[in-house]
Structure 1
């Protein structure tokens, strides 16, 4: 079954251009010109990726992202003509996985979207492998548990001392990668390559923001993710 992409863009011509690129690559495409329509389509269909413009009629992209994140960790790429770095960070704080500024090259956007979809697919396949008894995740079967934090790969859920922790796709990938490499310092560059799989155009604040989100959601367990000055991060079990 083909992956489905929801394109939320109020500029019809631009939306059609993006749509054609994804259709030509074999994706199913849903399209919306405003935020309310986007939410309705998301609730009615199974979607593997959302391309979400910020400046939308009816309901802006920030609000759409915030509402979707209440129930889903589907990968989201924000699209915007605004280049303010604070806007980028706000998008990540709300749960966006990537951020593309206009004007952009549709082939580049397609490549970044494919990376996110493939990353999610690889995670799902690894989880299925773990669930069948092949330990490909550094844990026992379907789960990896350290210091009270348990990752369930098949369901892509996380608990801390038994309480659910709601993470986005990117946040889940970051936490899993750090826990799978417990005690090893992971550089920001390694995280970027692992999570996005391409030469990312942002700066260190992008990774810092995602890490801050993960720590906030982990509550008392936040201290387990240690900052290594001028290098990156590591997960330290047993602190």
Structure 2
């Protein structure tokens, strides 16, 4: 597995590179946004990007947005910023996950494997069911409150006809709930299906993603919280 590590602190980058190398990961480290964009523009293959937000030439949030304009490589933000506003902003601009410093290297490795597994199966899992050449693939559209329309086959969401950009995990989370409106999904089930993990440490990540979907759609009640249990998509 090839990792693009964007970190300007030599000490942090060195320690992280050693830990990842022990897990049979090939680390390509750069210390600035400019160098990172140069790497990605050359077409060099990377399986995941680890992105520090405190870069010397461009804020990591802005860099993540530019990375998303170039490619769909999974991005994990690795930073000391712990406030909810920054977490939500990071997800809004396209991050797949968010890990705060200090962290256990084992947690980061687990998250790397989780996001790369999802990315690897995204194409085949999203492909429409094969039919006879003369028959177009069916489109499954799910309606929601406030003018929300979810096209599961095309992986598109609109509100009152206006497209809303969701990250891969945000869409998978919303689609999972929307396919069975009114049904309560436990947190552990959502984590197992969307994050490939039942690890309790991902509970916070789930809450952040739910908040991000709600904020992006801007529709009251689009994801309902069932206290102490989980979440559901509104029925009717």
TM-score, normalization: structure 2? 0.74
* Alignment partner, residue 137 of structure 1: none
- Unpaired segments of 5 or more residues in structure 1? 134-139
Paired residue for 2:37, among 39, 42, 46?
39
Note closer, same or farther for the CA distance 1:41–1:144 as it changes in structure 2 (3 Å cut).
Answer: farther
Report if aligned partners of 1:78, 1:99 keep a CA contact under 8 Å in 2: yes
Any idea what SS the aligned residue of 2:152 has?
Answer: strand
* Alignment partner, residue 158 of structure 1: 156
Any idea what SS the aligned residue of 2:58 has?
Answer: coil
Any idea what SS the aligned residue of 2:140 has?
Answer: strand
The question of 1:145 aligning with 2:141 is answered yes
Distance between the aligned counterparts of 2:12 and 2:162, measured in 1? Answer: 43
The question of 1:231 aligning with 2:232 is answered no
Q: Give the CA RMSD over aligned residues.
A: 3.3
- Unpaired segments of 5 or more residues in structure 2? 144-148
Any idea what SS the aligned residue of 1:177 has?
Answer: helix
Any idea what SS the aligned residue of 2:55 has?
Answer: coil
Distance between the aligned counterparts of 2:13 and 2:21, measured in 1? Answer: 12
Distance between the aligned counterparts of 2:31 and 2:177, measured in 1? Answer: 38
Mean CA deviation greater in 225-234 or 114-123: 225-234
Mean CA deviation greater in 170-179 or 21-30: 21-30
The question of 1:109 aligning with 2:105 is answered no
- Counterparts of residues 1-239 of structure 1 (less than 5 Å): 4-19=2-17, 22=20, 29-45=27-43, 46-69=45-68, 74-84=73-83, 87-128=86-127, 130-132=128-130, 143-147=139-143, 148-152=149-153, 157-160=155-158, 163-198=162-197, 199-201=199-201, 204=204, 206-219=205-218, 223-236=221-234, 239=236
* Alignment partner, residue 146 of structure 2: none
Over residues 103-142 of structure 1, what are the superposed CA-to-partner deviations in whole Å (9 max), with x where a residue is unaligned?
Answer: 33434322210111102223333224x4435xxxxxx967
Distance between the aligned counterparts of 1:165 and 1:24, measured in 2? Answer: 40
Mean CA deviation greater in 185-194 or 19-28: 19-28
